[in-house]
Copies of this chain bind each other. A is one copy, B any other.
């Protein structure tokens, strides 16, 4: 299931070039993804990682951002969430891609220890594709972690 949320860019979100700064975009992504992870699991969830993110185009004050988010795959105590941000044209409603990110979250119990998360049920072709690709990205993440430890 895809959740859609809106955000109107505020004067306080801008850098010296009068465009929204990267850190604010990531903040929006992380906050929303944390809500989605928590609603799915019924547990408090913390961000474990965020995959690389490209900032495709800028957004300015008053721009309407549309954030689309989905849970791609659930492992034992963690899940991958994908977030895609668009800028929506006020008059035509046309949406242009701003940035995308994949985050992993871990569900925690009352003692702050990882705890199981319910699986997701795949229905559409699209959901199955996202499920498969999440596993691919996971392998890259694990390889990355192994490399850091070495």
Contact = CB atoms under 8 A, between A and B. Distances in A.
A51 B30 CA distance: 15
Interface stretch (A31-39, A71-79, A120-128): A31-39
Interface in A41-82: 42-44, 46-55, 58, 61-62, 64
A81 to B, nearest CB: 12
Q: How many copies does the complex hold?
A: 6
Nearest to A36: B6
Contacts of A21: 30-31, 34, 46-47
Contacts of A38: 8, 64, 90
Nearest to A102: B52
Interface of A: 3, 5-6, 8, 10-12, 14-17, 19, 21-24, 26-32, 34-35, 38-39, 42-44, 46-55, 58, 61-62, 64, 88, 90-91, 93, 103, 108, 112, 141, 144-145, 148
